[in-house]
A and B are shown apart, each in its own frame.
Chain A
Amino acid sequence: MNTTELTREDLATVSPAWWAAALVAVVLLAVTFAVEPGLFIDQAIGGLVYGMVLVLVTLGLSLILGLMGIVNFAHGAFFMLGAYLSYSVVVTLGLPFWAALILAPLAVGVVGVVLEITVLRYLYGSDPIVSLLATFGLTMMIEEVIRAYWGTAPLEISRPSVLTRGTDLGVTTVPTYRLFLVGVAVLTIVAVYLLISRTDFGLTVRAGVQDGEMTEFVGVNLPVRFTAMFFLGAALAGFAGVLYSAETGMRTTMGETFVILAFVVVVVGGIGSLFGSVVSGILIGVSAYLTPVVLSALAEVTNQPWLALQIRDLVPYLVMILILLYRPRGLFGEEGFLE
């Protein structure tokens, strides 16, 4: 399952163990597809959706981490805030879902900016542990506000009718909303990547990360740029929250679950590599959804019913432990970053 890293490695240096693992993974997936094609595609797309949401959350987290050295525990709270704000936009204000898709992330971005200016600005350059603790306190406050304002009961919104239908894929019918989510997420990820790597704004921000003092000497207003990046990171988390909760509903535990998963994605992908986060997010999402299917297919083929373990929630952590054992810096990580 951890074979995606082969893409960037020089294939000649890849050890036989990896080849064997890749072969086993391919065989297992093929067997599963042969046994239960419909379920396989269903779960693969479910995993892709989950992975895309993870990537969006992680992108904001690793932007803020990589650029400012802030370990933002409140990122899960931003994700959750986006989800709950979309409820307010759709149900309380009565606006269409499309409006929520734009308004909620903007509002979350503004919240992020306020927190950046009032609290996090004082933590640049301090021990990352301090920023982790401070943002943990912020998480507590945001979650408290959410519980107070929206209550603790699960909430749901209705999606536009265009997206509630199914799309026929031959072996199975997939809800159109899932395909929409994947498409939107891919567009967003590409846009963020272009912003960081191809624009003057991205260039100055990256310069500021490498040498803040020098960048300011040549006339770049860095604090404004960092605030803007924080806005972007928070808005991305809020956006992911809107997309995700439109399908699954809003729960008060979604924030903590996703911030932990996002960090798992960062660890697996390698800190400091946006590309790594994207790959590992999709990898973790898909493997989490496919592993139970593979196991149940295996149980069917070998006639060993105990093999059909329901370990979907456990898979991300297992992948992380494997990565830490065999490739501690992550799939595409730079060595020594934050170590």
Chain B
Amino acid sequence: MSGETATGGGSTETLDRARSLLGRYRVPVGLVLVVVLLRPVISNPLLLGYEAVAATILIWMVFVAAFNLLFGYAGLLSFGHAMFLGFGMYAAAIGVSGRAGAPQLPFPVAAAIGIAVAATVGYLLGRLTVEKGEIYFAFLTLAVAQAVEFTANRNPLNLTGGSNGVTQNVLPGFVESTRGQLVVVFGGLEVDWYWFVSAVFLVSMLALWQIVRSPFGRSLVAIRENGDLARAMGIDTTRYKVQAFTISAAFSALAGSVLMVDRYGASQETLSVITSGDTVLMAVLGGVRYFFGPIAGVFVWQFAEEFLNEFEVLHLGFTSVDLSGVLTHWQFFLGALFVVLVVVAPLEGIWGYLRDWVRDLYVRLKGVAE
């Protein structure tokens, strides 16, 4: 009897240690779970039934998480984040294709240039705007993004391809496209595109997680909660905000360069206000106060979009009017859901509700067990 209790105590100790480790590293574990589960879940015939969109979803998660570093943590709402995605996308596309006399560059170099450009623009724009007040900031970033889109549309030096974007010879050497599926070739090793994107996803998200839980990230939260108090405690708020903007821009451009390969080129629609708006919507839908909020938001949004597109394609043989009506209602009701969410609790999002719900359930189950 007593021996059993002793072993029981030992195993509880191990269990406790395992639990505390799990608690401490729940974000990395969760990220790995996202990568492992995403593809099987969405390729389930009951849901989407095809898996090509999984890689795109992962890239969007990186982008929206980078956006949320700025909005959720530093409290700066950028309404023009599409431009940073676009910098990465266009730099990678132009560099790899070597169009219009641009030097032909390996993909990593081109992507690095895009990231550097985005970080520089983020830094300069940040210097100009972060202390302007949040509404000013939102519209200034939006206006600058508009200007960037117009510039790309004008096709300067024949580099950006105007409204057609850059779509010729954009696949880097190590990526091959077979039957519409992307395959990454390292030497003799062939890796599915999804796993390459997963690696980028894990590295970027872990980097963002480290940033968020570092003293730097904590200072951002302090600035968001009370800028005056943070300044009184010796935090250089302007510098921290500018740095957050720069980092966010750089990660967005990274996502953009990978998205370029995923989408077979850079498109002008990526630079539009609609992309920036979608970014905000996804982050808020998921819950901006949580690290996993953007992940949840992107999943719900992209999944709904793809699911309904697929739905339309499946039923194209019948009346198409009805189906476009369904699609319309979906967008309309998503807007309505968003409005309700914002009015009721703007910062919680789906992830916040999910958390509360799970916690309630846990407490109730525990109560029943006792």
Chain A positions near chain B (C-beta within 8 angstroms):
71, 119, 122-123, 127-130, 132-134, 136-141, 144-145, 147-148, 256, 260, 263-264, 267, 310-311, 313-314, 316-318, 320-321, 324-325, 328, 338-339
Contact = CB atoms under 8 A, between A and B. Distances in A.
A123 B339 CA distance: 11
Nearest to B148: A317
Nearest to B150: A313
A132 B328 contact: no
Contacts of B128: 321, 324-325
Contact of B342 (A133, A145, A147, A263): A133
A128 B339 contact: no
Q: Pick the 8 closest A-B CB pairs, nearest first.
A: A140-B335, A137-B338, A137-B339, A141-B335, A317-B147, A339-B133, A148-B328, A263-B139
A269 B332 CA distance: 34
A320 B143 contact: yes
B146 interface: yes
A263 B338 CA distance: 23
The residue among B143, B334, B342 with the most chain A CB atoms within 10 A of its own CB is: B342
Interface in B162-196: none
A136 B277 contact: yes
Nearest to B346: A130
B138 A141 contact: no
A1 to B, nearest CB: 16
Interface string B9-43: 00000000000000000000000000000000000
Given A148-B328, A260-B139, A130 B132 contact: no
A211 to B, nearest CB: 23
21 contacts: A71-B135, A119-B343, A133-B280, A136-B281, A140-B332, A141-B335, A148-B328, A256-B274, A260-B273, A263-B142, A267-B139, A310-B154, A313-B150, A317-B143, A317-B147, A321-B128, A324-B129, A338-B135, A338-B136, A339-B132, A339-B136
B61 interface: no
A328 B124 CA distance: 16
Interface residues on B, range: 35 or more
Contacts of B273: 256, 260
Contacts of A141: 332, 335-336, 339
A119 B339 contact: yes
B197 interface: no
Contacts of A338: 133, 135-136
Contacts of B277: 136, 140
B81 to A, nearest CB: 14
A129 B343 contact: no
A129 B342 CA distance: 10
* Chain B binding surface, main DSSP class: helix
Contacts of A260: 139, 142-143, 146, 273
B370 to A, nearest CB: 40
B320 interface: no
A136 B280 contact: yes
Nearest to A310: B154
A123 B133 contact: no
B140 A133 contact: no
Contacts of A147: 328
Given A130-B343, A325-B128, 9 more contacts: A128-B135, A133-B284, A134-B339, A144-B335, A148-B328, A148-B332, A264-B139, A317-B146, A317-B147
A144 B331 contact: yes
A86 B242 CA distance: 46
Contact of A140 (B135, B136, B150, B331): B331
Interface string B316-359: 00000000010010011011101100110010000000000000
Contacts of B154: 310-311
Interface of B: 77, 128-129, 132-136, 138-140, 142-144, 146-147, 150-151, 154, 273-274, 277, 280-281, 284, 325, 328, 331-332, 334-336, 338-339, 342-343, 346
B218 to A, nearest CB: 22
Contacts of A144: 328, 331-332, 335
B151 to A, nearest CB: 7
A128 B135 CA distance: 7
Nearest to A316: B143
B343 A123 contact: yes
B334 A129 contact: no
A267 B325 CA distance: 39
A305 B342 CA distance: 52
A197 B144 CA distance: 35
A263 B143 contact: yes
Nearest to A120: B343
Contacts of A256: 273-274
Nearest to B134: A129
Contacts of A129: 77, 134-135, 138, 346
Contacts of B146: 260, 317
B194 to A, nearest CB: 31
B144 to A, nearest CB: 7
Contacts of A132: 77, 135, 138
Nearest to B156: A309
B150 A314 contact: yes
A324 B140 contact: yes
Nearest to A309: B154
Contacts of B151: 314
Nearest to B133: A339
The residue among B138, B151, B339 with the most chain A CB atoms within 10 A of its own CB is: B339
Nearest to A256: B273
A328 B273 CA distance: 24
A168 B266 CA distance: 48
Contacts of B334: 140
A178 B336 CA distance: 38
Given A71-B135, A260-B143, A260-B273, A138 B339 contact: yes
Contacts of B325: 148
A317 B151 CA distance: 11
B120 to A, nearest CB: 16
B335 to A, nearest CB: 4
Nearest to B142: A260
A160 to B, nearest CB: 34
Contacts of A314: 147, 150-151
